[in-house]
């Protein structure tokens, strides 16, 4: 039924084309093609892109990039198409004449995925000669993927002129991809192409080789098969590296979430179920900072996180001190009551945030330096994860240095190791308690700033981290910051190596079971504290 | 509760009702609203979570019911009586849903309840509605495989969302390899089972289907996105069909964007991502990804434009978005009003019998009809995500699709039908001609 419909449409289209060519046209094919955008029909737009790209009209590049960037609008009544330049100037897309403004009846030309793909490959052809080597490489890559036979002469011409080394490599690979799929290429050419593609050795190369049509000569088929095996075995090695990286990055998130708890629970011994909510508050501080920046100082957006870090520390830290002074200090030595009180508190904080900011997610944007990824060999490393790893390690180092080298750090350690002795040495223990709790909460707030970059900013943010945080602290050994570090990274890496084998759900269960078994064997975690502290 | 009081006060102020209102105010609990009000108003229960994890989605539906009641009262109410909302908060706690439902029906004597979002909350209140014989309108897309006498399903069944979406990808995007990714609970599991059977019936091989489940609130998508990337590089066009629920979507799309997977390479079609969810996301990396729904805010027609305008005025927020479950609530509400007017009664049995066959305008320019299996007819749209967080409709079904209570794709249910008009049975087996049978 649909087939028939398509065929009918094709016939109708062909008929229309004949009629159109029969009437002496006033405008050229380029102008006709541009006018098609006004039909608001994806197949018409699709056709128009093809015609424009090959028209050789100087306007072609501008029109297609405008289409891609949503700067092309069309008036369905007058069939006129308008191009809004990047500088805001409006021109008639077909003629290039300046127009005062886009009429109200015009709407942006709509795109769908098929159209976007075709635009990309059309632009690939148009930017092959771009003066910017990065653009040339990008377009060579898109030719590599599409391997259109028609592109061969253009690629060869570009290859001859190319001086940039990596652009040259990209063009060579693109040429190899075309030759491999060219029907009348010789066997020798094809085998040479396979060698080049094998050298590239990534997923795209693999895709190209595995989807080769079946009607190849024996030699080509054999060398393609051996190239696939070679790439696959290399990919297996890389995937171990990739999993290790994923593990490190998951570990850094776990560490970041747990590090504040390592202080309130690990050092002070307070079972703080409201820890996750401190993380959540840190994330909301980031949202507020970004919101202010968006409305008042949009230029500073890339620095929003740097500003949010100290603010989140202060807000969450102060809140922590208030909580310690008003609730927790009455409950020292009563772990069950502390657990209940802090859990209740976590519900109160969640609902308070829900009332203030609404139940829906809040948008926290990624600054440009935290978006995207880069390739290290075959490893894909995303910037946000990399920064979070660095950030976590920095927070850890600063915290460690603070506990070791500052007088407040000394007091904290003294109070947690032997409260009465510390008190008789003249340390105001209750003040130190409040500050320690504030420090732990403040660090949780900082964690919230980082986590806002990879997770939702919603009132439920904290809940999803509280279990993991306790897991890390208990596994690493209560009261030992280094234990928390090792615990977080080993759990992260173990999780990521289990996940591809067992799936995300089973992997998580397996980790929990392993921890239970481990705690049976070593109840005090990886690095057990020795001495008086454990009895306190 | 606020609605309660305004209505109590809006009546001709007699001393008694003023005192009753004052008592209500003093007690401050909706459960204690003035007893006298029951005589001249019809009470409508609203059972949506206003706190806890599901508040993110359900709060809007509570507002929608309040909005519809407000509109209906401006038109003079139903059968000459004003409507009065009784709002309770089941707090995303499944057993509490059943308790609150019982409270609404026995204590507040509501005529109808609009509520629930998750399937588990619906299953939790089912026995209550059956036992106390009341009516529940359920406005969310779900996994199907159910048809109850007391429940009216105005959201999409799988054949009104999942199957048309897969059809679109197969025909228009020529997708050959499929990733079915979902959160690990009943809706994604059942939907994926149906989709897997459907894909296989269309000749897709087992090795071209990858099924992946993740826990609720999953936030570390690195491995899975890398797996999808790898699965998609086998040279065949690949798409992801996502039944990932709620909050887990944001990190998923962020990871897709960061690892450089664009919609033009591997499109993701989601069944749980709508305008409301996008309002909290930076939509740049999502451009071109798809969603399948029965309603989009961006659909242009006078009915929809009027609704959006009045809704934004009611919520006093000119940026407030509308979404599919809201439309389902609106359709359900209008159908209930018409059924009550037709039955000239709010008695549950009469309204339940009046409902099948009732027609109500949907917001996309068509007319939806309540079917004997208590599901409705709906159009299906595929939308692409635009930069402004709205959807651009790229495809729609030529006609309204009738909701199947029992999936035709699954062996266990393909012979079953729900028919509360002729057969008076929710799971009638057409092979054995018996009610209550499970399919062969």
pLDDT single digits (tens) B81-107: 999 999 999 988 999 999 999 999 999
Whole-number CA gyration radius for chain A: 31
Does the ipTM exceed 0.85? no
* % of chain A residues with pLDDT over 70: 93
SS3 (DSSP) at B87: strand
Report the candidate in A131, A205, A197, A198 with the shortest Cα–Cα distance to residue A164. A131
pTM score: 0.80
How far A354 CA lies from chain B's nearest CA (Å)? 8
Q: What is the mean pLDDT of residues A233-254?
A: 90
**B392 contact residues in A (CB cutoff 8 A):** 110, 112
pLDDT single digits (tens) A9-50: 544 444 444 444 444 444 578 888 888 888 878 888 888 888
The CA dihedral of A475, A478, A483, A486, to the nearest 10 degrees, is: 30
* % of chain B residues with pLDDT over 70: 90
DSSP B228-266: HHHHTTSSS-EEEEEE--GGGHHHHHHHHHHTT--TTTS
How far A65 CA lies from chain B's nearest CA (Å)? 16
| Sign of the four-CA dihedral A43, A44, A45, A47 | positive
B49 CA to centre of own chain: 14
- Report d(CA B402, CA B418) in Å as an integer: 13
**Residue A110's closest chain B neighbor by CA?**
B392
SS3 (DSSP) at A366: coil
pLDDT band (50, 70, 90) for residue B247: confident
Number of C-beta neighbours around residue B154 at 10 A: 31
Q: Give the residue carrying structure tokens 């909350």.
A: B121
Q: How many CB pairs under 8 A join A and B?
A: 142
- Report d(CA B64, CA B138) in Å as an integer: 13
- Report d(CA B231, CA B228) in Å as an integer: 5
Per-residue pLDDT at B159 exceeds 90: yes
Terminal Cα-to-Cα distance of chain A (whole angstroms): 80
Interface mutation target, options A6, A113, A203, A388, chain B, most CBs of B under 10 Å: A113
**B212 contact residues in A (CB cutoff 8 A):** 503-504
List CB contacts of A432: < 8 A, sequence separation 6 or more: A408, A411, A412, A415, A422
Contact B179, B199 (CB under 8 A): no
**A360 contact residues in B (CB cutoff 8 A):** 56, 59, 276, 279-280
A384–B212 C-beta distance less than 8 A: no
Across B193-211, b (16+ Cβ under 10 Å) vs e yields bbbbbbbeeeebeeebbbb
Contact B61, B48 (CB under 8 A): yes
pLDDT single digits (tens) A120-160: 777 776 777 777 888 888 888 888 887 878 778 888 888 88
Per-residue pLDDT at B352 exceeds 90: yes
Per-residue pLDDT at A2 exceeds 60: no
- Domains of chain B, each with CATH number or no CATH: 2-156+302-378 (3.40.50.2300), 159-295+381-398 (3.40.50.2300)
H/E stretch holding B214 reads strand B209-214
- Residue A69: phi and psi, rounded to 5, are -90, 10
Q: Could you say which of B224, B235, B259 has the minimum Cβ distance to residue A207?
A: B235
Q: What is the mean pLDDT of residues A460-481?
A: 87
**B277 contact residues in A (CB cutoff 8 A):** 361
Give the CATH number of domain A238-372+380-535: 1.10.3470
Q: What is the mean pLDDT of residues B145-173?
A: 93
**B223 contact residues in A (CB cutoff 8 A):** 243, 246, 496, 499-500, 504
Per-residue pLDDT at B19 exceeds 50: no
Query: What is the average pLDDT score of chain A?
Result: 84
Provide the pLDDT for residue A284: 96
Q: Which of A1-10, A450-459, B123-132, B317-326 has the lowest mean pLDDT?
A: A1-10
What A500-505 contacts at long range (C-beta under 8 Å, 24+ apart), as own/partner pairs, is A500/A239, A500/A243, A500/B223, A500/B227, A503/B212, A503/B213, A504/B212, A504/B213, A504/B214, A504/B215, A504/B218, A504/B223, A504/B224, A505/B184, A505/B213, A505/B214, A505/B215
Provide the pLDDT for residue A401: 94
**A380 contact residues in B (CB cutoff 8 A):** 226, 259-260
Q: Could you say which of A120, A354, A384 has the minimum Cβ distance to residue B258?
A: A384
Provide the 8-state DSSP code for A77.
T
Contact A138, A121 (CB under 8 A): no
SS3 (DSSP) at A201: coil
Report the candidate in B288, B272, B270 with the shortest Cα–Cα distance to residue B180. B270
Q: Could you say which of B236, B250, B290 has the minimum Cβ distance to residue A211?
A: B236
pLDDT band (50, 70, 90) for residue B14: very low
Interface mutation target, options B258, B284, B315, B319, chain A, most CBs of A under 10 Å: B258
Provide the pLDDT for residue B272: 87
Report the candidate in B440, B427, B378 with the shortest Cα–Cα distance to residue B145. B427
Interface mutation target, options A147, A202, A301, A454, chain B, most CBs of B under 10 Å: A454
- Report d(CA B178, CA B267) in Å as an integer: 10
Provide the pLDDT for residue A25: 41
Per-residue pLDDT at A322 exceeds 70: yes
- Report d(CA B383, CA B275) in Å as an integer: 11
Q: What is the mean pLDDT of residues A179-192?
A: 85
Number of C-beta neighbours around residue B253 at 10 A: 27
Domain ranges, ordered by start, for chain A: 2-115, 127-216, 238-372+380-535
Provide the 8-state DSSP code for B319.
T
A243–B259 C-beta distance less than 8 A: no
- Report d(CA A75, CA A103) in Å as an integer: 8
Across B254-274, b (16+ Cβ under 10 Å) vs e yields bbbbbbebbbbbbbbbbbbbb
Provide the pLDDT for residue A142: 80
Q: Are strands B41-47 and B112-115 parallel, antiparallel or unpaired?
A: parallel
Interface mutation target, options B56, B92, B289, B290, chain A, most CBs of A under 10 Å: B56
Per-residue pLDDT at B331 exceeds 90: yes
- Report d(CA A232, CA B53) in Å as an integer: 43
| Sign of the four-CA dihedral A135, A136, A139, A140 | negative
């Amino acid at each position: 039924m649909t087939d028939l419909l398509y065929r009918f449409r094709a016939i109708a289209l062909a008929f229309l084309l004949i009629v159109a060519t029969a009437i002496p046209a006033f405008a050229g094919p380029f102008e006709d093609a541009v006018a098609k955008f006004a039909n608001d029909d994806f197949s018409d737009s699709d056709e128009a892109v093809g015609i424009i790209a090959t028209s050789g009209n100087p306007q072609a590049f501008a029109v297609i990039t405008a289409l891609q960037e949503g700067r092309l609008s069309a008036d369905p009544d007058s069939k006129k198409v308008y191009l809004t330049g990047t500088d805001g100037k409006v021109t008639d897309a077909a003629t290039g004449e300046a127009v005062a403004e886009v009429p109200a009846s015009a709407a942006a030309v709509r795109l769908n995925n098929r159209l976007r793909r075709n635009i990309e490959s059309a632009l690939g052809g148009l930017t092959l000669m771009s003066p910017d080597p990065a653009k040339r490489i990008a377009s060579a890559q898109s030719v590599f993927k599409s391997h259109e036979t028609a592109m061969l002469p253009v690629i060869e011409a570009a290859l001859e002129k190319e001086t940039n080394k990596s652009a040259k490599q990209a063009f060579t690979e693109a040429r190899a991809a075309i030759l491999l799929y060219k029907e009348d290429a010789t066997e020798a050419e094809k085998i040479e192409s396979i060698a080049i593609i094998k050298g590239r050795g990534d997923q795209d190369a693999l895709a190209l080789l595995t989807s080769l049509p079946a009607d190849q000569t024996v030699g080509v088929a054999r060398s393609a098969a051996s190239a696939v095996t070679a790439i696959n075995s290399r990919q297996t090695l890389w995937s171990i590296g990739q999993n290790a990286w994923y593990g490190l990055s998951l570990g850094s998130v776990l560490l970041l979430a747990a590090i504040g708890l390592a202080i309130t629970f690990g050092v002070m011994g307070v079972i703080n179920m409201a820890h996750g909510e401190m993380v959540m508050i840190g994330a909301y501080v980031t949202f507020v900072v970004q919101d202010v920046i968006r409305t008042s100082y949009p230029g500073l957006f890339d620095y929003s996180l740097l500003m949010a870090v100290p603010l989140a520390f202060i807000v969450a830290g102060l809140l922590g001190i208030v909580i310690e002074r008003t609730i927790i200090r009455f409950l020292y030595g009563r772990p069950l009551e502390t657990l209940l009180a802090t859990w209740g508190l976590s519900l109160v904080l969640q609902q308070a945030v829900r009332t203030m900011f609404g139940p829906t997610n809040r948008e926290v944007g990624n600054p440009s330096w935290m978006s995207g990824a880069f390739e290290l060999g075959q490893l894909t490393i995303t910037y946000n994860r990399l920064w979070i790893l660095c950030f976590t390690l920095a927070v850890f180092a600063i915290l460690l240095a603070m506990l070791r080298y500052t007088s407040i750090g000394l007091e904290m350690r003294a109070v947690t190791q032997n409260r009465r002795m510390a008190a008789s040495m003249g340390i105001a223990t209750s003040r130190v308690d409040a500050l320690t709790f504030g420090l732990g909460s403040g660090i949780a707030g900082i964690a919230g700033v980082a986590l806002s970059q990879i997770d939702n900013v919603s009132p439920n943010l904290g809940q999803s981290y509280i279990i993991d945080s306790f897991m890390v602290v208990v596994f690493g050994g209560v009261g030992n910051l280094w234990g928390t570090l090792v615990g977080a990274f080993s759990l992260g890496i173990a999780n990521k190596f289990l996940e591809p084998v067992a799936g995300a759900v089973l992997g998580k269960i397996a980790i929990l079971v392993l921890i239970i078994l481990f705690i049976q064997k070593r109840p005090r975690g990886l690095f057990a504290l020795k001495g008086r502290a454990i009895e306190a | 509760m606020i609605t309660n009081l305004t209505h109590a006060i809006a009546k001709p102020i007699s001393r008694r009702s003023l005192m009753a209102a004052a008592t209500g105010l003093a007690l401050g609990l909706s459960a204690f609203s003035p007893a006298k009000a029951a005589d001249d108003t019809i009470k409508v229960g609203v059972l949506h979570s206003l706190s806890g994890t599901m508040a993110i989605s359900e709060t809007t539906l509570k507002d929608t019911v309040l909005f519809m009641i407000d509109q209906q009262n401006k038109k003079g109410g139903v059968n000459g009586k004003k409507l009065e909302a009784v709002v309770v908060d089941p707090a995303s706690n499944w057993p509490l849903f059943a308790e609150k439902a019982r409270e609404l029906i026995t204590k507040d004597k509501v005529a109808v309840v609009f509520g629930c979002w998750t399937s588990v909350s619906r299953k939790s209140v089912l026995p209550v509605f059956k036992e106390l014989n009341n009516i529940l309108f359920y406005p969310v897309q779900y996994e199907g495989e159910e048809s109850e006498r007391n429940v009216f399903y105005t959201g999409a069944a799988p054949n009104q969302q999942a199957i048309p979406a897969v059809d679109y990808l197969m025909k228009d995007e020529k997708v050959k390899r499929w990733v079915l990714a979902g959160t690990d609970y009943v809706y994604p599991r059942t939907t994926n089972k149906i989709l897997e059977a459907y894909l296989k019936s269309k000749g897709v091989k087992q090795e071209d289907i990858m099924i992946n489940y993740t826990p609720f609130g999953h936030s570390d998508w690195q491995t899975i996105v890398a797996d999808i990337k790898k699965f998609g590089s086998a040279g065949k066009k690949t798409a992801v069909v996502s039944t990932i629920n709620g909050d887990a979507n944001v990190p998923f799309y962020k990871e897709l964007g960061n690892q450089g997977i664009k919609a033009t390479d591997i499109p993701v079609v989601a069944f749980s991502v709508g305008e409301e969810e996008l309002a909290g996301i930076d939509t740049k990396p999502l451009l071109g990804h798809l969603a399948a729904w029965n309603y989009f805010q961006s659909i242009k027609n006078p009915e929809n434009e009027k609704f959006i305008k009045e809704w934004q005025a009611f919520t006093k927020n000119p940026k407030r978005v509308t979404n599919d479950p809201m439309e389902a609530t609106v359709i359900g509400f209008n159908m209930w009003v018409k059924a009550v007017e037709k039955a000239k009664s709010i008695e549950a049995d009469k309204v339940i019998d009046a409902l099948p066959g009732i027609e109500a305008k949907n917001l996309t320019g068509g007319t939806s009809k309540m079917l004997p299996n208590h599901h409705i007819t709906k159009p299906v749209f595929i939308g692409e995500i635009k930069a402004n967080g709205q959807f651009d409709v790229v495809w729609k079904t030529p006609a309204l699709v009738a909701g199947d209570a029992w999936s035709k794709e699954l062996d266990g249910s393909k012979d079953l039908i729900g028919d509360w008009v002729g057969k008076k049975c929710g799971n009638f087996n057409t092979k054995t001609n018996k009610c209550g049978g499970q399919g062969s």
